[in-house]
């Protein structure tokens, strides 16, 4: 009995799918392997937290105050959740590492590390607009599960809590 051939994907969509999968994989790997220093000089990265559910909050350093509500709300709801707070330095302007470090040491509690991304690795790797907070949720293997952009609101919190509930229950 002859076997019918499987339908094939048209060449262009198949190639596009292959490219999109490769780009998504590269973006996740690029961001997770970058080690950044916080305002106290301590290095950290997503890769260092394999085995944990991680929420990375990435924002332009000039809008760092917009992440406080996210940290408070999600930290209170999920005490064991690990956060990577990442301050993206602007591409141009008078802001530099020394100035940002000094400002963070004065204004942010010592218990809240803020990783400083001078070369904008996270924004480039994950195609982020850092004019508002970006929440990137990673599972225990370091894979990006979901992302959310915007200031804290009850509606945004309600959209991300089912994802976190599911990841933390595993």
d(CA 28, CA 142): 8
Fill in the DSSP letter of residue 46: S
Q: Which CATH architecture has domain 11-169?
A: 3-Layer(aba) Sandwich (3.40)
Please give the model's pTM, rounded to 2 decimal places.
Answer: 0.79
Length of the chain counted residue by residue: 170
Where exactly are the structural domains of the chain? 11-169
Tell me which residue has tokens 């009995």. 1
Q: From residue 64, how far is each of 46, 69, 70, 86, 131 by CA, in Å?
A: 19, 11, 11, 9, 10
> Which is nearest to 103 in space by CA: 58, 57, 61?
61
pLDDT recorded at residue 52: 96
d(CA 167, CA 164): 5
On the question of pLDDT at 23 being above 70, the answer is no
Q: Is the dihedral of CA 133, 146, 37, 152 positive or negative?
A: positive
Give the model's confidence band at 107: pLDDT under 50 very low, under 70 low, under 90 confident, else very high.
confident
Contact (Cβ atoms closer than 8 angstroms) between residue 122 and residue 52: no
On the question of pLDDT at 152 being above 50, the answer is yes
Give the model's confidence band at 62: pLDDT under 50 very low, under 70 low, under 90 confident, else very high.
confident
Contact (Cβ atoms closer than 8 angstroms) between residue 53 and residue 164: yes
What's the gap between Cα 124 and its chain centre? 11
């Amino acid at each position: 009995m002859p076997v019918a051939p499987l339908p094939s994907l048209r060449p262009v969509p198949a190639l596009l799918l292959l490219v999109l999968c490769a780009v998504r994989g590269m973006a996740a790997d690029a961001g997770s392997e970058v080690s950044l220093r916080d305002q106290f000089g301590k290095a950290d990265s997503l890769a260092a937290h394999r085995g944990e559910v991680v929420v990375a909050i990435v924002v332009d350093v000039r809008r760092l105050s917009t992440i406080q509500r996210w940290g408070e709300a999600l930290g209170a709801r999920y005490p064991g959740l690990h956060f990577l707070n990442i301050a993206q330095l602007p591409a141009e302007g008078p802001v530099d590492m020394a100035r940002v470090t000094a400002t963070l040491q004065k204004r942010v509690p010592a218990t809240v590390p803020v990783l400083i991304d001078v070369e904008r690795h996270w924004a480039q790797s994950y195609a982020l607009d850092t004019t508002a907070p970006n929440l990137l949720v990673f599972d225990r293997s370091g894979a990006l599960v979901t992302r959310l952009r915007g200031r804290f609101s009850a509606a945004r919190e309600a959209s991300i809590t089912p994802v976190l509930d599911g990841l933390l229950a595993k």
